[in-house]
Structure 1
Amino acid sequence: MVKTVLTVKDLSASYRKNTVLENVSFTVEQGSLTGIVGPNGAGKSTLIKSLLNLHPTLSGTVDFFGQPFKKAQQAIGYVPQRGSVDWDFPTNALDVVLMGLYGKIGWLKLPSRSHKKLAYEALDKMGMIDYAERQISQLSGGQQQRVFLARALVQDADFYFMDEPLAGVDAATEQAIMAILKELKGKGKTVMVVHHDLQTVADYFDHVLFLNRRVLEYGKTSTVFTKENIARTYGGNMRWTLEEGSHVVHP
């Protein structure tokens, strides 16, 4: 039986007095790996932040596992856009990953040996164990992204949101991240990812949500990832190169 883990109804939000989300409604099934796609300014990041109470909403309701975010937040992990993080903050990779355990440790307590073991294991899984003591400002963009993903992994959430985790990373890091996301899906975790590269959507995600202020289409990638839905979402700013058996899209 399919279990619904997120229900969004008539969600609206604004940014600098401009409405960026308008009556957004959709439901998400447990164990799905969804790509959120749409043009710049479509409200993709605002959608995630609104769902997680990080951005004020104008209207609508959001339920995780049948309850409000505040009651479900321990089961939810979030990887923000790399550009929104202060990378000059004086902390090392291990400390960043340990932040993912603060819900279990408590903000005023020191991490135990077992907590640090979990953090090291997460860094090792992301190929970053040798950089545990390295200041985050000294890491490359791809390495920083791996550390933030390790922070999310150590939380052992049931539902993960990731805002453009593949933006600006090298090919090896991209493949490593996608391997982890597919592993999470295989464990029954649910993942929603803001994604910018339409050429990889069909390979990376089993569901896709087309967003441009409103949800224009949402469903299984094999069904809804079509030229028509892409054109509806991105408007006239697309040109197409047709290859046998596939569509390659150029914004």
Structure 2
Amino acid sequence: MNEVVLEVKNLTAAYQKNTVLRDVNFQVEAGSLTGIVGPNGAGKSTLIKTMLALHPVLSGEVHFFGSTYKKVKKRIGYVPQRGSVDWDFPTIALDVVMMGLYGQIGWLRRPTKTHQRMAFEALDKMGMADYANRQISQLSGGQQQRVFLARALVQNADIYFMDEPLAGVDAATERAIMKILDELKAAGKTVMVVHHDLQTVADYFDHVLFLNRTVIKHGKTNDVYTEDNIATTYGGSIRLIGGRIGNVVHPVKQ
């Protein structure tokens, strides 16, 4: 067993009086690439936000590397949902990526040429070097997602959390993002991704966390990505066709 880099114990969270997560328990090993899947309203985004102290915890504990998020947050990267970002904010792509370096630069210090080079190299890795000086509002959805991924990459974190990075992007961007995620895994990084497309889970992730307000099942994809676990998570019926998901019928739970 590899080193446990994330441990969640009895985590419960709510919005006002509506409990969104209840008694969530799981451990994540170093160097794993995990897909977090579940129906709408299952608490997938809330899980990430709660672990990263962006949403209050009602009860339970979250430990990164045996410590609290506050003590190790420089080792953690986060890519939020694209829809939660104000893309009209007047800034260029290079400056957005530079924000990922503020932990190194400090908020009151100016970035050096080294910092600018690091940010540019991260953009280049995402195929966005030609857009470094473009206003983010002028970029397509897929291009914006690449910029945000570059911002996370430049942090050189040990754990990355990504909230639906593949939602609404074109096929080329999806391939580019998955290539980067595979490279992160190969480098020993740990990545957790909220993912909505059941048909690609088995191809993209070596671990799966089935979530519907609590953990339904978590483990290696080859072991837990089954018709029964999917049906239990989504509350409907599914068909596996040649090892892939066929029709998925489930109620949308809010």
What is the TM-score when the length of structure 2 is the normalising length?
A: 0.96
SS class of match (2:193): strand
Aligned match of 1:75: 75
Deviations 1:148-182 (A, max 9, x none): 00000000000000000000000000000000000
Alpha-carbon separation, structure 1, partners of 2:246 and 2:185: 26
Aligned with residue 246 of structure 1, among 240, 244, 247 = 244
SS class of match (1:196): coil
Unmatched segments (≥5 aa) in structure 1: none
**Counterpart AA for 1:142:** G
Aligned match of 2:141: 141
Aligned match of 2:166: 166
1:239 shift after superposition: 4.3
CA contact (8 A) 1:5 1:64 kept: yes
**Counterpart AA for 2:90:** P
**Counterpart AA for 2:172:** A
Alpha-carbon separation, structure 2, partners of 1:103 and 1:243: 47
CA contact (8 A) 2:227 2:238 kept: no
1:248 shift after superposition: 2.6
Aligned match of 1:99: 99
Unmatched segments (≥5 aa) in structure 2: 250-254
Aligned match of 2:224: 224
Q: Aligned pair 1:48/2:54, yes or no? A: no
Q: Percent identity?
A: 73
**Counterpart AA for 1:248:** G
CA contact (8 A) 1:97 1:154 kept: yes
Number of equivalenced pairs: 249
1:185-204 → structure 2 map (5 Å cutoff) = 185-204=185-204
Change (3 A) 1:132 1:152: same
CA contact (8 A) 1:128 1:146 kept: yes
Deviations 1:103-142 (A, max 9, x none): 0000011100000000000000000000000000000000
Aligned match of 1:214: 214
1:245 shift after superposition: 3.8
